[in-house]
Amino acid sequence: MSADYEVRGDVAVITLNNPPVNGLGYATRKGVTDGLERANADPKVKSIVITGAGRAFSGGADIREFGTPKALQEPNLLSVIAAAENSAKPVVAALHTIAMGGGLELPLGCHYRIVAPGTKVALPEVKLGLIPGAGGTQRLPRALGVEPALNMMVSGEPVPAELLAQVPGQKLFDKVAQSAETLLDEALALAREKADVRPLPKVRDLPAKHPLGDAYFQFARNTVGAMAKNFPAPLKCVDAVEAATKKKFDDGIAYEREHFINLMWTPECRALRHVFAAERAASKIADVPEDTPKREIKSVAVIGAGTMGGGITMNFLNAGIPVKVLETKQEALDRGLATIRKNYEAQVGKGKLKQDKYEQRMALLSTTLNYDDIKYADLVIEAVFEEMGVKEAVFKKLDEVMKPGAILASNTSTLDLNKIASFTKRPQDVVGLHFFSPANVMKLLEVVRGAKTGKDVLATVMALAKTIKKTAVVSGVTDGFIGNRMIEQYSRQAGFLLEEGATPEQVDKAIEKFGFAMGPFRMGDLAGNDIGWAIRKRRYVEKPGMKYSKTADKLCELGRFGQKTGAGWYDYKPGKRDAIPSELVNQMIEDHRKALGITPRKISEQEIVERLVYSLVNEAARILEEGIASKASDIDMVYLTGYGFPLWRGGPMQYADTVGLFNVAESMKRYAKNPLDDTQFWQPAPLLQKLVAEGKTFNNV
């Protein structure tokens, strides 16, 4: 049983007991209905308390049951709530710590609610592309008021119970307990006080009204529609809450159910549920068991105080971990420190960081020019110039000075981690930590697993990633790791599209309409077109047979590196970031086409999007096949958290699954016939062909 039952004098206490957060799985639901039945049948019992054991009242549905028949097995959540509401004896819900989703809908079906201070309350279903499905949309507006209830549903964010208890006229909480410790005693007292009060109060009997009526819902639709573009669930919350104000309670419940089920089948909901699972899956490594011993990381050293070193440092300071930054020259340290200060001061200026917190963080930061000062650090992260010779010198020195057991990490974005590890006599301690720029902002962290990286090192850095609030994805050693290896193909396609007839603006617009935060050319201008130029120059030597459009090189030869030089693929007004289509660039592209003898053609938006997105997919399939990524969902996490792929599409692999892998492969074969493109590249990757032949999806990989 995942719910306990005991009788204390004349009150029955049902305690949800399904660690870690008392998810409302089958056994717990059954435990509650059995407990209610038993209490109602026992003449000694006058009233009932429902509470939660351990770290939560309840976090809602049990995610372990998602997608399994158990999730729907009777008693389902609606039946449990009905059993509480229809109990002949009063039922008091005693909430503490967390009451979310079904964990709030169940109390709303109880007759009374008492809450411990500090409890976080939420209806977070929109985060999975859903609306609350167990009466939340009908009962919360009645208990709390239409507007605050809708705000909670649309944001999905947790709200402190004390705040809700202050909402004028609210009936959500009958009482705020003195403390979590006294909650149960106070709940028992409330249960005894109400034992003989009849009729039993039910939230369903309360009215749901907004003083502005239709005008309010019109306003809500406008605001929510603008905020939640591409996500249908938030607008459906508005509809359902409006139904609560207009329909009879049971009709409102039926309306909620119908829309809940409809939403379940939308691509957006499937994508969000996929992302929810993908995020959890990314932190698990098949051959590194969860109980792998971890090393303790209490202090960090960062080598190099440049663009990346500074941002990396901030992550650890934010998490309360002291950092010592090492550089070759005092000026470089001063510059790096000044940038960190400037970043924090900007946050203080915007009211996002309190002055004392800023000072606390800066107090954790120290600098040095001497390796002796960092030798006791538990983790050292190298972020020096991207040159093997420089990395070699640094890692040889680290091997010499660092204490045994220290983790030696490199932030290299392109170099061979195994080679870097070979500069030391402890390759098991070496790992790649590939942060993305700006490192203090971007969520993604590619954890690069070298051939000899120790399992305890991997387990440690995966846990550390959580501490510094990053989404960590493991990548094997390959040029560009997962993300940049794929983006290179995407950039090549963008170049071919220009040669064949598109303008930078057309390409950017098409892919931005698809949902990318920024198209490839605006992105290039932001990041600096010289970065790609340097990589291509290396490629021309390493892979002379690889086909590239030369338009980007011509752009760089003109010194148009992007925003930092005031001009790139687009023109920029001084000090402004708005991309203005450039006549000069368009002319340059046209001249280039002429020189190649290419007659430009009109390229459809669909072709632009397919070639950009499917190039990611095909390269990703190869990455999967080579074992560089261990699951397709990891690749989705890389693209969602590091490359601005639209969340509602769930990542490139999930998107390909949605389109259908057969269709994706057929399009690739069509593009393979285009002589101006890289025909070899467009041969569908063997893994993709295999999945098509077996009628499977990437989700099966």
Q: Which is nearer to ligand NAI, 144 or 394 (CB)?
A: 394
- 27 part of the interface to ligand NAI, by CB under 6 A: no
- 388 part of the interface to ligand NAI, by CB under 6 A: no
List CB contacts of 147: < 8 A, sequence separation 6 or more. 210, 216
Of 36, 121, 332, 523, the one binding ligand NAI by CB under 6 A: 332
- 328 part of the interface to ligand NAI, by CB under 6 A: yes
- Minimum Å gap between C-beta 500 and ligand NAI is 30
589 vs 504: CA distance, rounded Å: 10
- Minimum Å gap between C-beta 397 and ligand NAI is 8
200 vs 322: CA distance, rounded Å: 57
Tokens of 217: 């819902």
Active-site pick, 37, 65, 85, 105 = 105
Interface of this chain with ligand NAI, residues 643 to 662, rule: CB under 6 A: none
Q: Crossing angle, helix 249-264 and helix 136-144, to 10 degrees?
A: 130
- Minimum Å gap between C-beta 324 and ligand NAI is 12
Partner residues linked to 324 by β-bridges: 301, 366
188 vs 518: CA distance, rounded Å: 57
Interface of this chain with ligand NAI, residues 494 to 523, rule: CB under 6 A: none
Partner residues linked to 50 by β-bridges: 14, 93
563 and 572 Cβ atoms separated by less than 8 Å: yes
Active-site pick, 85, 125, 256, 268 = 125
113 and 77 Cβ atoms separated by less than 8 Å: no
Q: Which is nearer to ligand NAI, 342 or 352 (CB)?
A: 342
- 309 part of the interface to ligand NAI, by CB under 6 A: yes
Tokens of 38: 């038993």
Q: Which residue's entry shows tokens 């902002």?
A: 441
- Per CB under 6 A, the segment of 250-258, 315-323, 384-392, 553-561 that binds ligand NAI is 384-392
**Distance from CA of residue 272 to its chain's centroid?**
10
- 327 part of the interface to ligand NAI, by CB under 6 A: yes
Active site residue 105: yes
- Minimum Å gap between C-beta 365 and ligand NAI is 16
Q: Which is nearer to ligand NAI, 108 or 303 (CB)?
A: 303
- 304 part of the interface to ligand NAI, by CB under 6 A: yes
CB-based closest residue to ligand NAI: 306
- Per CB under 6 A, the segment of 124-132, 162-170, 260-268, 380-388 that binds ligand NAI is 380-388
DSSP for 120-178, written as a single string: EEE-GGGGGT----SSHHHHHHHHH-HHHHHHHHHH---EEHHHHHTSTT--S-SEE-S
Interface of this chain with ligand NAI, residues 660 to 699, rule: CB under 6 A: none
- Minimum Å gap between C-beta 391 and ligand NAI is 7
Start-to-end CA distance of the chain, whole Å, equals: 35
- 303 part of the interface to ligand NAI, by CB under 6 A: yes
Of 174, 239, 279, 386, the one binding ligand NAI by CB under 6 A: 386
Q: Which is nearer to ligand NAI, 326 or 431 (CB)?
A: 326
- 487 part of the interface to ligand NAI, by CB under 6 A: no
* CA-wise closest residue to 30 among 44, 218, 65: 65
- Minimum Å gap between C-beta 469 and ligand NAI is 18
List CB contacts of 28: < 8 A, sequence separation 6 or more. 2, 3, 16, 17, 18, 22, 62
362 vs 259: CA distance, rounded Å: 50
- Minimum Å gap between C-beta 115 and ligand NAI is 46
- Per CB under 6 A, the segment of 78-86, 388-396, 441-449, 463-471 that binds ligand NAI is 388-396
List CB contacts of 104: < 8 A, sequence separation 6 or more. 60, 121, 122, 123, 136, 140
* CA-wise closest residue to 544 among 536, 533, 554: 536
- Per CB under 6 A, the segment of 325-333, 373-381, 578-586, 610-618 that binds ligand NAI is 325-333
260 and 239 Cβ atoms separated by less than 8 Å: no
- 149 part of the interface to ligand NAI, by CB under 6 A: no
Q: Where are the alpha helices (DSSP H) in 291-329?
A: 307-318
Residue 368 exposed, middle or buried by CB count within 10 Å (0-12, 13-18, 19+) = middle
Q: Which is nearer to ligand NAI, 238 or 439 (CB)?
A: 439
Q: Which is nearer to ligand NAI, 3 or 487 (CB)?
A: 487
Q: Which is nearer to ligand NAI, 565 or 674 (CB)?
A: 565
Measured in residues, the chain has a length of: 701
Tokens of 36: 């209610």
- Residue 620, amino acid: A
- Per CB under 6 A, the segment of 160-168, 179-187, 346-354, 389-397 that binds ligand NAI is 389-397
- Residue 292, amino acid: T
Residues 403-442: x where in contact with ligand NAI by CB under 6 A, - otherwise, as a string: --------xxx--------------------xxxx-----
Of 167, 264, 319, 390, the one binding ligand NAI by CB under 6 A: 390
Q: Which is nearer to ligand NAI, 249 or 435 (CB)?
A: 435
- Minimum Å gap between C-beta 311 and ligand NAI is 8
- Minimum Å gap between C-beta 366 and ligand NAI is 15
Size of the site for ligand NAI (CB under 6 A): 25
- Per CB under 6 A, the segment of 173-181, 193-201, 387-395, 633-641 that binds ligand NAI is 387-395
CB neighbourhood size of 99 (10 A): 31
- Minimum Å gap between C-beta 266 and ligand NAI is 35
Q: Which is nearer to ligand NAI, 32 or 305 (CB)?
A: 305
> What separation in angstroms does the CA of 492 have from each of 113, 441, 531, 568?
60, 27, 14, 17
Q: Which is nearer to ligand NAI, 335 or 690 (CB)?
A: 335
Tokens of 40: 């109602």
Active site residue 6: no
- Minimum Å gap between C-beta 326 and ligand NAI is 6
Q: Which is nearer to ligand NAI, 197 or 441 (CB)?
A: 441
Question: What value, to the nearest 5°, has the Cα angle with vertex 76 and ends 16 and 255?
Answer: 125
- Residues tagged active-site: 105, 125
Applying CB under 6 A, the residues found at the interface with ligand NAI are 303-309, 326-328, 332, 383-386, 390, 393-394, 411-413, 434-437
